């Protein structure tokens, strides 16, 4: 379980995120949705301790995020940031291998190498594994970053818009993979998704965020309603019955 208790980030006197109280259940996928600037990335980076809190506490599986040593936290939670794609003079394989660092301390074992190869194969990067990151397309680079995060093999996984730049096939593949990791390995995945219909189809819970506050949180059907989505996104949204739950329609 991830709990946020009175969590606040005050960027400036005008831009304040929170206070947020939230309890994300262990196991399953929780999707964070909301318009640009709502505070989704802020919440995710606070949970992953890539950003310091101004008030409140965050616990992940009982660890107080502010007080846990980085090397211990790195074995419990992994994070994909929305914009972290600054490193370019690394090959795909070198990047994915970074995911094993909290376990291997830089000395990769045969098991580490095998996990790296599996992640590279799964994300269809085998032909590209020797290429530098700045020699890839945006979608290929995005897949390499997600492969690195999943190679960290943590119980809690935080992903900020991992479908950015991905085509339909790779988006579906990635969501199916995350769904399996949650259902079969008991992982807890918190994911910022741009597309509410991907959230509805693959997530177990949706947390709708607007103006630095949680507007609605619960099972998908509770959040995927015309009034909630219209209010959150500030644009008319209809909701229809899809093959696997509600789907939003907007033009
Ligand atoms: N470093 C920062 N300094 C000041 N304001 C920031 C900073 N980072 C984000 N913000 C502001 O905080 C708000 C929430 O941003 P963010 O969490 O990135 O939103 P989202 O991910 O939902 O699009 C926005 O208004 C954004 O402009
Ligand atoms: Mg964001």
Same domain, 134 and 174: no
- Read off the pLDDT of residues 114-124 as tens digits, 9 standing for 90 and up: 999 999 998 99
Mean pLDDT of the chain: 94
What is the Cα–Cα distance from 84 to 151, expressed in whole angstroms? 17
Both tokens of 12, joined, read 């400036």
- The secondary structure element, H or E, covering residue 209 is strand 205-210
Q: How does residue 84 score in pLDDT terms, banded at 50, 70 and 90?
A: low
Q: What is the DSSP string of 172-203?
A: HHHHHHHHHHHHHH--EEEEE-S-HHHHHHH-
Both tokens of 239, joined, read 């909701």
| Contact call for residues 25 and 1 (beta carbons, < 8 A) | yes
pTM, entire model: 0.95
Same domain, 13 and 70: yes
Same domain, 174 and 123: no
- Position in ligand 1 atom list of the atom nearest CA 38: 22
Same domain, 135 and 202: no
Instruction: Look at residues 74, 45, 46, 77 and name the one whose alpha carbon lies nearest to residue 61.
Output: 77
Same domain, 40 and 68: yes
Query: In total, how many domains does the chain have?
Result: 2
| Contact call for residues 216 and 232 (beta carbons, < 8 A) | yes
Same domain, 66 and 187: yes
| The pLDDT of residue 209 | 98
Same domain, 70 and 133: no
Same domain, 125 and 231: no
Residue 192 CA to ligand 1 center (angstroms) comes to 14
- Position in ligand 1 atom list of the atom nearest CA 36: 23
Both tokens of 150, joined, read 């999943």
Residue 57 CA to ligand 1 center (angstroms) comes to 20
Nearest Cα residue to atom 27 of ligand 1: 37
- Read off the pLDDT of residues 217-244 as tens digits, 9 standing for 90 and up: 999 999 999 999 999 999 999 999 988 8
Pocket of ligand 1 (CB under 6 A): 11-12, 15, 34, 36-42
What is the Cα–Cα distance from 66 to 49, expressed in whole angstroms? 7
Nearest Cα residue to atom 7 of ligand 1: 11
What is the Cα–Cα distance from 193 to 187, expressed in whole angstroms? 18
Which CATH number belongs to the domain containing residue 198 in this structure? 3.40.50.300
Nearest Cα residue to atom 4 of ligand 1: 11
Same domain, 149 and 161: no
- Read off the pLDDT of residues 149-196 as tens digits, 9 standing for 90 and up: 999 999 999 999 999 989 999 999 999 999 988 998 889 999 999 999
Strand partners, 23: 3
Ligand nearest to the CA of 213: 1
Strand partners, 31: 191, 206
Residue 42 CA to ligand 1 center (angstroms) comes to 6
Contacts of 162 (CB under 8 A, 6+ apart): 80, 142, 145, 146, 174, 191
Using the Cα atoms of residue 220, residue 225, residue 228 and residue 234 in order, give the sign of their dihedral: positive
- Read off the pLDDT of residues 54-74 as tens digits, 9 standing for 90 and up: 999 999 999 999 999 998 999
Strand partners, 157: 78, 189
Instruction: Look at residues 224, 225, 217, 221 and name the one whose alpha carbon lies nearest to residue 4.
Output: 217
The domain of 145 spans 85-153
């Amino acid at each position: 379980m991830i709990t946020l208790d009175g969590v606040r980030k005050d960027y400036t006197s005008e831009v304040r995120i929170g206070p947020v109280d939230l309890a994300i259940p262990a196991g399953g996928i929780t999707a964070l949705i909301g318009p640009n600037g709502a505070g989704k990335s802020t919440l995710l980076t606070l949970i992953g301790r890539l950003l310091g809190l101004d008030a409140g506490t965050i616990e992940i599986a009982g660890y107080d995020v502010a007080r846990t040593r980085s090397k211990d936290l790195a074995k419990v939670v992994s994070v994909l940031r929305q914009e972290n794609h600054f490193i370019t003079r690394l090959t795909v394989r070198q990047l994915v291998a970074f995911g094993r660092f909290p376990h291997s301390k830089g000395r990769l074992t045969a098991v580490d190498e095998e996990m790296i190869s599996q992640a590279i194969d799964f994300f269809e990067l085998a032909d590209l594994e020797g290429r530098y990151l700045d020699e890839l397309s945006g979608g290929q680079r995005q897949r390499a970053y997600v492969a690195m995060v999943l190679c960290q093999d943590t119980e809690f996984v935080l992903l900020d818009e991992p479908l950015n730049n991905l085509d339909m096939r790779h988006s579906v593949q990635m969501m199916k993979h995350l769904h399996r990791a949650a259902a079969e390995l008991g992982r807890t995945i918190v994911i910022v998704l741009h597309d509410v219909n991907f959230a509805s189809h693959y997530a177990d819970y949706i947390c709708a965020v607007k103006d630095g506050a949680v507007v609605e949180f619960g099972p998908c059907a509770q959040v995927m309603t015309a009034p909630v989505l219209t209010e959150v996104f500030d644009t008319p949204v209809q909701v229809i019955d899809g093959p696997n739950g509600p789907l939003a329609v907007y033009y």
